[in-house]
Amino acid sequence: MDHVIQIKNPCIPLEFDLSRPLEVEVGCGKGRFLSNRAEAHPECDFLGIERMLGRVRLFDGKCRRRGLDNVRILRLEALYAFHYLLPAHHVRTVYVFFPDPWPKKKHHSHRLFGPLFRSALWKRLERGGKLEFATDHREYFDEVCAGFADDGRFERVEPMPRPREVWTEFETMFREKGLEINAAAWRALDGDDSPLEPLAIPPEAEPREGIPRRS
């Protein structure tokens, strides 16, 4: 089966079986983490969001070989996907591991995390649903934590344990080098459930990667 979602109309939300839980990885890369999790949890549906076509094809091939029928892959900007295409308050967990930190100050506006993404994220998470976040970039980690600390729709909780077999390729490399891994998680609380405003992002402020560079 083809695991890659083909978008025929970008204005129509994607269809999911709302009787099954849904987990989403932003920047799923070649699918090492998500394929292992999908295999361990056949009762749950999984969606990987990835922009790089080569990685999408590799992940699709991996799903075919392993016979995973509970995984789909979407090649699209994460911000757009969360804002328009995912069902409201249905996602159980969102994973964002090792996003591009855009370290130069003049490029900080390209980072994924910001008010627009936090609002779209909250709109898609079920009440009590979680965001799992990890990065090797301490300054970016502190910035993301500060943004969530000022957002009353989220509560910080303990991050999930991630055994070695589900580390991403980049996490494996970083840990083997002894680099610091910063991880945090937040749970969605009750909040103002007003509709999201249409996206209107100036080109210089658009998070062009939309997804992590590292997988």
List, by residue number, the catalytic residues: 100
Alpha-carbon span 65 to 4, nearest angstrom? 14
Burial class (CB in 10 A: 0-12, 13-18, 19+), 187: middle
Collect all residues with Cβ–Cβ distance below 8 Å to 40 and sequence separation of at least 6.
Answer: none
Cα 113 to Cα 96: distance, rounded to the nearest angstrom: 10
Structure tokens at 92: 């159980």
**Which distant-in-sequence residues (6+ apart) come within 8 Å of 32 by Cβ?**
166, 167, 168, 169, 215
**CA separation (Å) from 96 to 11, 26, 27, 164, 183?**
25, 5, 7, 17, 10
Spell out the SS3 assignment of 105-131: HHHHHHCCCCHHHHHHHHHHEEEEEEE
